[in-house]
Amino acid sequence: MSFNHIFLLQDLSCRKQRLQAPSVFRPTPRKRLSSECCLPATLPSLSSLEKAARNQIPRTEVKQLRQRSTSSEGSSSSENSDDAPTSPSQPWADDTRGYTPQKPTPSARPKAWKEPEHWEVVQAIEKRDVVKLSQIRDYSFHVLLRRVNNTSPLEHAVRIGYTDMAILILGMFSRWINYLDEEDFSRKKVMISLNAIRINLRFAITQGLQHNQPNLISSYLQTIVMSHGEAWLKASISDVARELNQGSEGKPAHMAITSINMDLQTIHPLISVANAGCDLLMLGAWNIAMQKLPNAKPIPVSGVPLHFFARDDRIYQEFSERRRRLRDECRTHLPKKLQWQMKVMKKVCPFHLPRINCYRTFITDHWDTDIWHIPEARNSQGRARWRYSLQSVARQATFKGKNLGRLPNRERCNPIVITVKIKRPQYPYAVSPDSSIRDTFPFDYHPPFLYAMASGPKLTFNPDLIMSIDPWLEPNLPALSERRGHFDHVKHGILSSEGSYDSFTKGYKRFGLNVQSDNSVTYTEWAPNAVEASLIGDFNNWDRGSHKMTKDQYGVWSLTIPSNNGACPIPHDSKVKISMVLPHGERIERLPAWITRVTQDLSVSPIYDARFWNPPAEQAYKFKHPRPPKVTSARIYEAHVGISSPEPRVATYKEFTVNILPRIKNLGYNVIQLMAVMEHAYYASFGYQVTSFFAASSRYGTPDELKELIDTAHSMGITVLLDVVHSHACKNVLDGINQFDGTDHLYFHGGGRGYHDLWDSRLFNYSHHEVLRFLLSNLRFWMEEYQFDGFRFDGVTSMMYVHHGIGTGFSGGYHEYFGPGADNEAIVYLMIVSRPLSQRYAPPIVP
């Protein structure tokens, strides 16, 4: 039984100080959670949210300057007003702004402090400058809430994939909420601050789900509960449910929900030790029961930990009632395994360890641990007291610093056994399971029960086997285990959503322009940011209104053009484009991302044109020779078609076939590695600035002429490899895939993480479901349509490390490959690459 990838990130210091602090008078106590269960409520409209967000921005710069001048008129008067935090004479207590620094005293703010601009905050996030962000939190907290160009610092951190920075900012929000509770602020000040935090979190939820980061939902909602109580949580649950099920990234979210539901059948309620895990099991089980009841409204987000109700047994009572109705009214039962787990939960759920004692759990040097709860004795009231013990599978473990040694007689124990993954932090880790960064932050990191989960199948990781192969890997077993877990999670997501690698890698047969059996043409494109899209070209005189496309819930646009009296409605080799309208009204035109043919006419423009390639059946090239057998000893000849001629011009596929292939054969080479095949706008880049990933370069000839070249090489017994560039892409917009739907983060990382400083190119976001589809389908396209036999991947060092190898000297040690500089998302992509190809073909060559 396993519950994989749970990180318990808890802050003992802040909570302990708050619990030990004397109670303070709260002029406006917020509502406590009621005894009734939390069900979704009606959502506010996005327009009302945007309007509210705009209202939180400081009114004018003049107002700010006036406040600064007021605060600098005299330090003595400012110090005398320190005991009146609601005085309007102090800029940090201005109710119109509603924000204050962490310690709102004039003496705490340095005289030389200058309020940072929005771009400076963004830069601090991208550089992971924790010190700078801490200063902004203390002296200019309102800057963290300000939305500029429809983006706040928290949204930016989520959008570019810096989960650790997002969690850090969430911790700042939580600590600020606590400060509002402990200090005597005016009602208006408290409400303005909480509303600003609430709006920030709402947009962050949407941004996170759009970028496939559902593992932060629990963090958002926990902070929301603290900031606005149960009423707003109801609307938030409904909002999250809508985004999960209907958002532009609905498929990855659906995969997460599916895997969570699968895990609910095997999970044990161990996590009650940490006062948080009962929620996951109870909410999931409750949802399963409600789905089977007539006229019952299920929780829309199945199994996702929405709040921290594990303080009492209300959820269990509600579930027991649902289960009774299920039995009495529907004459059906839950699975026996789930019933057994609920019986165990009934014993465990009402009991919770003291909050102050369960915020930290240390487990030394190991991952696989058996957890037992053992009834020790009866107290004066006759109730059983419980002692929670842990024993390592391979060695003795410590619990709260004490060596437990061997457990007593196991037969007398009531076991709850689970394989759990818990780090031993010196400070709380501000990371998610998907993050490779292991930086720690000070104790002001606050979210009370922040645990992120990457759901998926049971992790198949055998440390003993790894150690037997290479004992030097022992210090890196935690990193290796996490990487394998990430791989299993991505693999499970693909298989659960698409059914198989085979269907997932056939993206080129669904996306782009495809001719069907009845000669109708389908066009499909992924552009979630567009609000309107249409296919234009020579076939409809570039009329934007004649062939409009429809958008589904995943941001995918599609169109079917019926045949013209049995003939293809789009002429062969005619020009096409996609025209889109963005949310703010701007119209843009792009080359289709999956286009298979692009050409350049320098007499008209240096920008490439997309062409619909569909030659008549009698003219299309047909392969005549099978692939050669896999080579056992490769002798590779690297070749560039364009520079294969002794003359100062660009050579062609035909010339290479006639003149170069026989020479390569006579020299004894058995493998050719072709460079610069994918279309690239900049010829001097040697093909490494790709603009159209599915198009063979038109400088050298037509697609059929490239097929003839490969077929001829096969007839000579020569294996043909493609020099594939999946490490980066050209930053061209008009004839590339950069900013395809008007955003900078569709196929690539947003912000600074999405740019390669040395190559001046864009970097793929390998964690995105649709990006994986695009890249894996691209490989299969070249192997199936052009009969390539394998690949040489360019720029692997840039892919595998977040620093891209720039200014870095490698020693070759494991600490570099498994260290914080490794990019697990890209490494997992490289791990997955050979899986679908080897299932479809003979094991391809990937040198």
The verdict on 701 and 729 lying in the same domain is yes
Inside any domain, residue 534: yes
Average pLDDT score, the chain: 66
Inside any domain, residue 631: no
What the block records as the tokens of 477 is: 């077993």
The verdict on 180 and 299 lying in the same domain is no
The verdict on 727 and 796 lying in the same domain is yes
- Of residues 793 and 439, which shows the higher confidence score? 793
Percent of the chain with pLDDT over 90: 32
Chain centroid offset of residue 147 CA: 22
Contact 453, 482 (CB under 8 A): no
Inside any domain, residue 515: yes
Cα 38 to Cα 33, 231, 244, 495, 705, distances in angstroms: 9, 9, 18, 33, 64
Note down the domain range covering 270. 229-367
pLDDT of 643 strictly over 70: yes
Q: What is the pLDDT of residue 327?
A: 64
Rounded CA separation 162/360 (Å): 25
The verdict on 170 and 287 lying in the same domain is no
What the block records as the tokens of 776 is: 């894996």
Rounded CA separation 495/493 (Å): 6
Best-predicted range by mean pLDDT among 243-252, 764-773, 802-811? 764-773
Instruction: Specify the range with the lowest mean pLDDT, choosing from 182-191, 635-644, 674-683, 695-704.
Output: 182-191
Q: What is the pLDDT of residue 50?
A: 46
Please report which confidence band the pLDDT of residue 823 belongs to, taking 50, 70 and 90 as the band edges.
Answer: very high
The verdict on 251 and 278 lying in the same domain is yes
The verdict on 642 and 591 lying in the same domain is no
Give mean pLDDT, residues 727-741: 95
Please report which confidence band the pLDDT of residue 840 belongs to, taking 50, 70 and 90 as the band edges.
Answer: low
- Of residues 408 and 166, which shows the higher confidence score? 166
Residue 216 CB coordination number (10 Å): 21
Element (H, E) at 663: helix 661-666
Contact 340, 323 (CB under 8 A): no
Best-predicted range by mean pLDDT among 108-117, 127-136, 579-588, 812-821? 579-588
Task: Please tell me the total count of domains within the chain.
Answer: 4
Rounded CA separation 728/688 (Å): 8
pLDDT of 9 strictly over 80: no
Instruction: Specify the range with the lowest mean pLDDT, choosing from 220-234, 576-590, 737-751, 824-838.
Output: 220-234
The CATH number of residue 578's host domain is 2.60.40.10
Beta bridge partners of 559: 523
pLDDT of 690 strictly over 70: yes
Give mean pLDDT, residues 133-154: 82
Please report which confidence band the pLDDT of residue 326 belongs to, taking 50, 70 and 90 as the band edges.
Answer: low
Percent of the chain with pLDDT over 70: 52
Q: What is the pLDDT of residue 465?
A: 74
Rounded CA separation 538/625 (Å): 37
pLDDT of 402 strictly over 60: no
Please report which confidence band the pLDDT of residue 217 belongs to, taking 50, 70 and 90 as the band edges.
Answer: low
Q: What is the pLDDT of residue 809?
A: 82
Chain centroid offset of residue 605 CA: 38
Please report which confidence band the pLDDT of residue 670 belongs to, taking 50, 70 and 90 as the band edges.
Answer: very high
Rounded CA separation 641/652 (Å): 6
Inside any domain, residue 674: yes
3-class DSSP state of 675: strand
3-class DSSP state of 73: coil
Per-residue pLDDT of 508-534, as tens digits, reads 999 999 999 999 999 999 999 999 999
Vertex 740, ends 739 and 745: CA angle to 5°?
50
Close Cβ partners of 621 (under 8 Å, ≥ 6 residues apart): 704, 705, 707, 708, 711
Rounded CA separation 548/441 (Å): 51
Rounded CA separation 114/72 (Å): 13
Q: What is the pLDDT of residue 665?
A: 94
Sign of CA dihedral 610, 614, 616, 622: positive
Inside any domain, residue 399: no
Rounded CA separation 288/275 (Å): 23
What the block records as the tokens of 323 is: 């289960």
Give mean pLDDT, residues 269-280: 32
Instruction: Specify the range with the lowest mean pLDDT, choosing from 344-353, 496-505, 625-634, 832-841.
Output: 344-353
Rounded CA separation 432/164 (Å): 7
Of 687, 520, 691, nearest to 591 (Cα)?
A: 691
Inside any domain, residue 686: yes
Contact 440, 174 (CB under 8 A): no
What the block records as the tokens of 539 is: 């076939």
Give mean pLDDT, residues 564-586: 93
What the block records as the tokens of 275 is: 């006062």
Inside any domain, residue 739: yes
Please report which confidence band the pLDDT of residue 656 belongs to, taking 50, 70 and 90 as the band edges.
Answer: very high
Instruction: Specify the range with the lowest mean pLDDT, choosing from 183-197, 446-460, 551-565.
Output: 446-460
The verdict on 670 and 541 lying in the same domain is no
The verdict on 582 and 685 lying in the same domain is no
Q: What is the pLDDT of residue 495?
A: 86
Q: What is the pLDDT of residue 657?
A: 96
Q: Angle 163-182/187-210 helices, nearest 10 degrees?
A: 160
Please report which confidence band the pLDDT of residue 709 belongs to, taking 50, 70 and 90 as the band edges.
Answer: very high
Element (H, E) at 610: strand 605-612
Task: Among 612, 644, 676, identify where a domain stops.
Answer: 612
Rounded CA separation 763/806 (Å): 14
Contact 7, 431 (CB under 8 A): yes
Q: Residue 846 corresponds to which amino acid?
A: V
Could you give the maximum distance between any two Cα atoms of the chain, in Å? 99
Please report which confidence band the pLDDT of residue 138 belongs to, taking 50, 70 and 90 as the band edges.
Answer: confident
Please report where in the chains the tokens 């209104």 appear, as a residue.
545
Please report which confidence band the pLDDT of residue 317 belongs to, taking 50, 70 and 90 as the band edges.
Answer: low
Task: Say what the pTM is.
Answer: 0.54
pLDDT of 831 strictly over 50: yes
Give mean pLDDT, residues 203-216: 55
Q: What is the pLDDT of residue 841?
A: 63
Of 651, 759, 672, nearest to 716 (Cα)?
A: 672
The verdict on 518 and 642 lying in the same domain is no
Tell me phi and psi for residue 88, to 5 degrees: -70, -10
The verdict on 360 and 320 lying in the same domain is yes
Rounded CA separation 66/91 (Å): 9
Rounded CA separation 692/558 (Å): 20
Residue 221 CB coordination number (10 Å): 24
The CATH number of residue 730's host domain is 3.20.20.80
Of 671, 678, 635, 630, nearest to 844 (Cα)?
A: 630
Give mean pLDDT, residues 790-795: 92
Best-predicted range by mean pLDDT among 45-54, 126-135, 152-161, 733-742? 733-742
Give mean pLDDT, residues 487-512: 88
Give mean pLDDT, residues 120-133: 83
Inside any domain, residue 297: yes
How does DSSP classify residue 686?
A: T
Task: Specify burial of residue 570 (Cβ count, 10 A radius: 0-12, 13-18, 19+).
Answer: buried
Q: What is the pLDDT of residue 699?
A: 95
Cα 308 to Cα 242, 289, 450, 840, distances in angstroms: 21, 20, 10, 46
pLDDT of 824 strictly over 50: yes
Q: What is the pLDDT of residue 554?
A: 82
Task: Among 213, 247, 278, identify where a domain stops.
Answer: 213
The verdict on 673 and 725 lying in the same domain is yes
Contact 245, 300 (CB under 8 A): yes
Q: What is the pLDDT of residue 46?
A: 42
Best-predicted range by mean pLDDT among 294-303, 413-422, 487-496, 678-687? 678-687
Close Cβ partners of 694 (under 8 Å, ≥ 6 residues apart): 508, 512, 594, 595, 596, 778, 781
Q: What is the pLDDT of residue 149?
A: 72
Half-sphere exposure of 448 (CA within 13 A, CB side): 23
Give mean pLDDT, residues 134-143: 83
Rounded CA separation 498/457 (Å): 16
Rounded CA separation 763/769 (Å): 15
The verdict on 363 and 512 lying in the same domain is no
